[in-house]
Structure 1
């Protein structure tokens, strides 16, 4: 009897670091319509990372070189076929999004350190770790405008990467407190301002073709927003002419956004919808789940999934790998020769010839 009482007390009262909010999960379309189940992402060719893991973002830099941000804190550089692999830079944190300015200079969103620039010799310089007097919790995606300004996402102020690491992402998903921001860094002023706030797990980001808007993935709302670059301290939780939904009710968690060819924007879906939808309106269930040992969690089968869409929200490509071999697909980078798949978990970079 004592054991039963002790177990019940543990499951009911053991402290957890989240204060979950109730919300209404949108109906999942499942793998139907434009997202009809397929195997177009299966059987990718592989570029081994030689002991490194987690190529969360892959970008094409000067001279056609590939750059990949990995879990060790390194940024790898290699030829398009994976040869000539080397460590280009070590950020001292966990680099995520990578972008290049007009001169070929690299800027990195690092979930631990903030927004960084990387010199041609690979040495990092901190550009910003706060905006509007608030620390940047988890710098995630980044894009560069023709004006030279950098736009990037801050995923969560509740669970900073420097304190919580990758565990913070899980906690933020469970809590649903929506403390994500979109930020603008002006190299001339050497300061960051808040474009928008109130995002639920702000993640990938790219500029529109005319650079008047930003496309931003809101992971735990299963959607992609379009936000005016000119916005200032915009609360996306309230109706506004400066923000609209471009993609909604996605079948998975939207992650990195990248500019492709022919006007396409590529988006990775890092995992399928899961039991969290059923727990959306029951905060106590999410607290209870965190008290259960992880080995007892019923995890969804890994499911690879990337899509491409146009600026008006039309899905023009949908590639899936239901086998789970291509897992945690955080994004895709398209070149004239191939499509490179990002992953926060993989020990290689999957790619396929462009079709």
Structure 2
């Protein structure tokens, strides 16, 4: 290589590095990260000590479908699962007689059934939906008011009086506008603006109100047995809350006695919440925490730099399958893990008399284990 070529190459490399540095530091991104104090990750200790109770899952083949994010037994005793394709698949509990119950043309992340047996679905792309007996999909609500859209409907539970409680994971980032649920969740959690909220829809008046706000990615939701409290997963800050169901526009950060943290500093990101049998509520942790991510909690500039990098480089935890059950007082009663993470992104669990079905964000099958409380 000539003496002339070497300086030219060095100069070109210098220009390239400078361009990369300028991009990483100054390229516009939609999120404006804010500082927050992440607690030190506890690891897998105590009630969450490592075990292999979720290893060797049995599976139900779902053909070309993918990502059974939410699974529930319907009033017809059929098993329903929401897939990435937008399909809501119905089958017998053993996985036979599969059919497409409906397609929402979006992505359902949670659903429940009302007293008339109709499916109520939280669709991240479209809002709160209802699927009638004729299987037609209609929008119940996609806004709180004319200037307040529902951007990221996530999970839903129907109360005995007909009130529909559901989470709006982010009031900042809509999956329909930002390339899907994953990208929108990355933007919201790295920003930490805590714009998530719990909403309530009243079918009698067709009106929507804010129950509580201030969540860093509001996710799973479940009702207490008496209907007086809601349990809510706050994915972005590794917590599960218990809040009064009759509050209005409550800021959970205000220190109100009507909102308490039931689980804090969980070892992973909490997702779906599902009522089980004998008072149990099941939670899924879809990924373990990564200390590198927590170390950036008070470094908003560095999180902004991360948003300019390929998503494959984000500091996310290694695959690890994990679901646990707790009672309404916040005592863990069951904990099932697979440290290998063979069944990816465990978002929740649905309990029946003899099986525990495991939800997943990206699995190509429905996982389950024979279940009898130990």
TM-score tier after normalising by the smaller chain length: over 0.9
Matched, 1:173 2:189: yes
| Aligned alpha-carbon RMSD (Å) | 1.1
Matched, 1:305 2:319: no
**Partners of 2:187 and 2:135 in 1: CA distance:** 33
Unmatched 5+ residue regions in structure 1?
none
Q: Secondary structure of 1:302's match?
A: coil
- Residues 298 and 209 (structure 1 numbering): CA distance in 2 closer, same or farther, change over 3 Å? closer
Q: Is the 8 A contact 1:106 1:117 kept in 2?
A: yes
Equivalent of 1:136, from 142, 147, 150?
Answer: 150
1:1-355 correspondence runs (5 A):
1-133=14-146, 134-164=148-178, 165-166=180-181, 167-274=183-290, 275-297=292-314, 299-355=316-372
1:301 deviation in Å?
1.8
**Partners of 2:316 and 2:285 in 1: CA distance:** 16
Q: Is the 8 A contact 2:293 2:315 kept in 1?
A: no
Q: Secondary structure of 1:285's match?
A: helix
**Partners of 2:185 and 2:315 in 1: CA distance:** 18
Deviates more, 1:36-45 or 1:295-304: 295-304
**Partners of 1:8 and 1:248 in 2: CA distance:** 37
**Partners of 1:88 and 1:74 in 2: CA distance:** 7
**Partners of 2:312 and 2:41 in 1: CA distance:** 27
**Partners of 1:142 and 1:294 in 2: CA distance:** 29
**Partners of 1:78 and 1:58 in 2: CA distance:** 11
**Partners of 1:191 and 1:331 in 2: CA distance:** 29
Q: Is the 8 A contact 1:269 1:329 kept in 2?
A: yes
1:248 deviation in Å?
1.1
Unmatched 5+ residue regions in structure 2?
1-13
1:298 deviation in Å?
5.5
Residues 158-180 of structure 1, C-alpha deviations (whole Å, 9 max, x = no match): 11122121210111111111111
Residues 117-152 of structure 1, C-alpha deviations (whole Å, 9 max, x = no match): 101221111100011441001110100111011100
Q: Is the 8 A contact 1:196 1:233 kept in 2?
A: yes
1:199 deviation in Å?
1.0
Q: Secondary structure of 1:116's match?
A: strand
Q: Is the 8 A contact 1:201 1:218 kept in 2?
A: yes
**Partners of 2:309 and 2:214 in 1: CA distance:** 30
Q: Secondary structure of 1:47's match?
A: strand
1:92 deviation in Å?
1.4
**Partners of 1:320 and 1:326 in 2: CA distance:** 10
Q: Secondary structure of 1:237's match?
A: helix
Q: Is the 8 A contact 1:98 1:106 kept in 2?
A: yes
**Partners of 1:254 and 1:13 in 2: CA distance:** 33
**Partners of 1:141 and 1:18 in 2: CA distance:** 23
Q: Which has the larger radius of gyration?
A: 2
**Partners of 1:296 and 1:177 in 2: CA distance:** 22
Q: Is the 8 A contact 1:195 1:230 kept in 2?
A: yes
**Partners of 2:24 and 2:235 in 1: CA distance:** 28
1:303 deviation in Å?
0.6
**Partners of 1:301 and 1:236 in 2: CA distance:** 31
Q: Is the 8 A contact 1:132 1:194 kept in 2?
A: no
